[in-house]
């Protein structure tokens, strides 16, 4: 099982973004030191809650300070405002700068403010993202490449630079719905599953086999099938005891749940493709109950190392290949300690059953 650290840049008031950016780089470096496999960033716009609008720029900075972790743009919005050739160029450039460690995580966005802010109809996001992914895959795997489609017509061209990884970096599709998991499987892409807020473990238990089953009939848009399912934990915090973890992360967990539900409600009526986001069940009755949210599913994962080991073991047994922890929104010292506890206690337990001792960080 692989482990990822995800940042959305949720600055605590009154932090400025330049301070949080530096902290995030230090956290990424520490994550590599203690055994994390992947570092990921989302792409966000127009939000005071999330502060990364150019993940490819930020990941280049992390690339110069790390040497082992994969670097995944974990939520690049593959819609028309991000031309697919530019996405491919940026990915290839990151791959060169990182000596072959780049990965692409693509998303069609679950934020109506972003979609409409860039003048895109919510009813077109599925078609645009499908075509954009096809172009990105062509650009990465064929030289020269060309494309004729509904949204883009591209004459024969060569991608410059070419990526280091041969035939090309892995591509992952980020999804909160069952159909998105099936789309990823049919296209031969990895998937990052982030839809466990509303239906909890029931969703996870349906989404993983839905993806794996679709992979059997994959017609890969790239040069190969990337069989990888990662479960995205939208708000994670690990501390020495359950009481300390809950006491530290309760506020940010509640705020995250309320924020994501707000995104869902805005999009649910915008297009039939997003209708599933309006099926909220009883989750709205429990947004203040972190203990309930913590048990309902992996979307919120707050606890001590033993709790994390139990949760990751369950995900592994269900068929997950990766667990992606979003450790953000708290003070830098709390983030660093959570990263170290996961590296010291959780990751070894899922790999070989042996604890290791991590030296305290000088960067804290």
Place of tokens 């990526």: 163
Separation of alpha carbons 164 and 184, rounded Å: 24
230 sits in which H/E element? strand 229-233
Report yes or no: 76 and 107 within 8 Å, Cβ to Cβ. Answer: yes
Q: What is the pLDDT of residue 13?
A: 59
Q: 16: which residues sit within 8 A by CB, 6+ positions away?
A: none
Q: Is the dihedral of CA 267, 269, 274, 279 positive or negative?
A: positive
Phi, psi for residue 28 in degrees, rounded to 5: -65, -45
Place of tokens 């001792």: 357
Separation of alpha carbons 271 and 202, rounded Å: 24
- Bridge partners of 236? 301
Separation of alpha carbons 289 and 283, rounded Å: 10
Separation of CA 128 from chain center:
20
171-190 pLDDT per residue, tens: 999 998 999 999 999 999 99
Domain 2-351: give its CATH architecture: Alpha-Beta Barrel (3.20)
Q: What is the pLDDT of residue 14?
A: 58
SS3 state of residue 273:
helix
Separation of alpha carbons 49 and 35, rounded Å: 28
- Looking at residue 12, what DSSP letter applies? P
- Bridge partners of 322? 2, 230
Report yes or no: 171 and 252 within 8 Å, Cβ to Cβ. Answer: no
Separation of CA 263 from chain center:
17
Q: 235: which residues sit within 8 A by CB, 6+ positions away?
A: 249, 252, 253, 256, 257, 299, 300, 301, 302, 326, 328, 329
Closest to 313 measured CA to CA, from 195, 231, 223: 231
Which residues of the chain are modeled with pLDDT < 50?
Answer: 353-364
* Token code pair at residue 245: 């973890």
Phi, psi for residue 77 in degrees, rounded to 5: -80, 105
Report yes or no: 3 and 347 within 8 Å, Cβ to Cβ. Answer: yes
């Amino acid at each position: 099982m692989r482990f990822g650290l995800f940042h959305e840049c949720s600055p605590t008031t009154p932090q400025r973004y330049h301070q949080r950016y530096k902290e995030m780089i230090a956290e990424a470096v520490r994550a590599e030191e203690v055994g994390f496999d992947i570092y990921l960033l989302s792409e966000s716009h127009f939000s005071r809650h999330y502060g990364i609008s150019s993940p490819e720029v930020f990941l280049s900075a992390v690339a110069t300070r790390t040497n082992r972790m994969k670097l995944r743009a974990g939520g690049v919005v593959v819609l028309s405002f991000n031309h697919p050739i530019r996405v491919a160029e940026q990915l290839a450039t990151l791959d060169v700068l990182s000596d072959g460690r780049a990965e692409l995580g693509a998303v069609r966005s679950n934020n109506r403010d972003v979609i409409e802010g860039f003048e895109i109809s919510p009813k077109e996001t599925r078609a645009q993202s499908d075509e954009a992914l096809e172009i990105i895959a062509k650009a990465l795997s064929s030289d020269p490449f060309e494309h004729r489609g509904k949204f883009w017509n591209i004459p024969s061209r060569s991608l410059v630079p070419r990526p280091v990884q041969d035939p090309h970096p892995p591509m992952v599709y980020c999804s909160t719905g069952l159909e998105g998991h099936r789309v990823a499987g049919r296209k031969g892409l990895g998937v990052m599953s982030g839809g466990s807020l509303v239906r909890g473990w029931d969703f996870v238990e349906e989404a993983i086999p839905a993806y794996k089953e679709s992979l059997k009939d994959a017609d890969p848009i790239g040069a190969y099938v990337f069989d990888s399912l990662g479960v995205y934990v939208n708000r994670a915090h690990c501390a020495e005891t359950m009481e300390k973890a809950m006491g530290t992360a309760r506020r940010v967990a509640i705020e995250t749940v309320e924020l994501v539900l707000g995104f869902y409600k805005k999009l649910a009526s915008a297009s039939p493709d997003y209708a599933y986001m309006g099926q909220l069940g009883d989750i709205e009755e429990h947004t203040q109950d972190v203990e309930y949210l913590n048990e309902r599913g992996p979307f919120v994962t707050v606890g001590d190392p033993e709790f994390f080991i139990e949760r990751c073991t369950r995900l592994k047994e269900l068929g997950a290949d990766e667990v992606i922890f979003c450790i953000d929104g708290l003070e830098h010292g709390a983030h660093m300690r959570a990263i170290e506890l996961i590296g010291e206690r959780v990751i070894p337990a899922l790999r070989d059953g042996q604890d290791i001792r991590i030296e305290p960080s000088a960067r804290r």
